[in-house]
Structure 1
Amino acid sequence: MAVAYGDNGYAFIESNANSSEEATAKALEGCGKSSTRCNLLGKPVAGPVALVIARAGDGVGVSANRDPLVAAELAMKECKARFKRGCRLEHVAWDEGDRWYAISTGNGGAYIEYGDESDTAAKSGALQGCRKRTDKAETCEIRAVSSKSGWIAMAEQETQYGWAVGSTKDEALAAARRECARAGGGKPCDDTTVVFNPGNTAAPDSVAAVQARIARQDEAASVPGKTDAVVRYADTCHNANCVRKYENGKTIRYTACLNPATSLPMNDPVRLGGCGGSDSRGNLFGMGGL
Structure 2
Amino acid sequence: MKRPGYLTTRQLSPALLAGARVLFAAILCALSAHANAWIAIAHGDDGYAFVESNADSSAEAADNALAGCRKVPMGCRLLGSPAAGPVALVIARANGGITESTSPDPLAAAERAVKDCKTHFKQVCQPDLVSWDEGDRWFAISTGNGGPFIEYGDKSETEAKSGALKGCRNRTDKPETCEIKAASKKPTWIAVADNGTNYAWAENSTKDGALSAARKECERAGGGKPCGSTNVVFNPGPVAAPNSVATVQARIERQHKAATAPRDADAVVRYSDTCHNTDCVRKYENGKTVRYTACLNPATALPMNDPTRLGGCGGTDSRGNFFGMGNL
Q: Name the TM tier (shorter chain).
A: 0.5 to 0.7
Partner of 2:253: 215
Which of 161, 169, 177 is equivalent to 1:123?
161
- Residues in 2 aligned to 1:104 and 1:21: alpha-carbon distance in whole angstroms: 31
Moved more, 86-95 or 33-42: 33-42
CA displacement at 1:61 relative to structure 2: 1.9
- Partner of 2:85, secondary structure, is coil
Counterpart residue identity of residue 135, structure 2: G
Pairing 1:139-288 to 2, within 5 Å after superposition: 139-158=177-196, 160-225=198-263
For residue 97 of structure 2, the aligned residue among 59, 81, 104 is 59
Tell me if 1:113 matches 2:120. no
Counterpart residue type for residue 149 of structure 1: P
The separation in 1 between residues aligned to 2:309 and 2:232, in whole angstroms, is 52
- Segments of structure 1 that go 5 or more residues without pairing to the other structure are 228-246, 251-290
How far apart in 1 are the matches of 2:172 and 2:149?
10
Identity, in percent, stands at 59
User: CA separation of 1:226/1:123 partners in 2, compared to 1, >3 Å: closer, same or farther?
Assistant: farther
Given residue 203 of structure 1, which amino acid in structure 2 is its aligned partner? A
User: Matches of 2:224 and 2:263 in 1, distance apart?
Assistant: 80
Q: How many residues align?
A: 230
**Alpha-carbon distance between aligned partners in 2 of 1:112 and 1:190, rounded to the nearest angstrom:** 18
Name the counterpart of 2:40.
3
Amino acid at match of 1:200: P
Give 1:57 shift: 3.3
Helix, strand or coil: the match of 1:16?
A: strand
State the 1:222 CA deviation. 3.8
- Does the Cα contact within 8 Å between 2:84 and 2:135 map onto a contact in 1? no
Select the residue among 64, 85, 91 that pairs with 1:46. 85
Distance 1:249 1:111, change over 3 A: closer
Distance in 1 between residues matched to 2:155 and 2:146, nearest whole Å: 28
Conservation of the 8 A alpha-carbon contact between 1:220 and 1:226: no
Using the TM superposition, give the Cα deviation of residue 183 of structure 1 relative to its aligned residue in structure 2, in angstroms.
1.1
Q: TM-score scaled by structure 2?
A: 0.58
SS at match of 1:148: coil
Residues 226/121 of structure 1: CA separation in 2 closer, same or farther (3 Å cut): farther
Distance in 1 separating the partners of 2:55 and 2:309: 29
Preserved CA contact (<8 Å) 2:66 2:76 = no
CA distance in 1, matches of 2:143, 2:193: 12
Shift of 1:226: 5.3
More displaced, 53-62 or 13-22? 13-22
> TM-score if structure 1 supplies the norm length?
0.65
Structure 1 counterpart SS, 2:153: strand
In 1, the alpha carbon distance for the partners of 2:310 and 2:151 equals 47
Q: Does 1:80 align with 2:118?
A: yes
Paired AA for residue 167 in structure 2: G
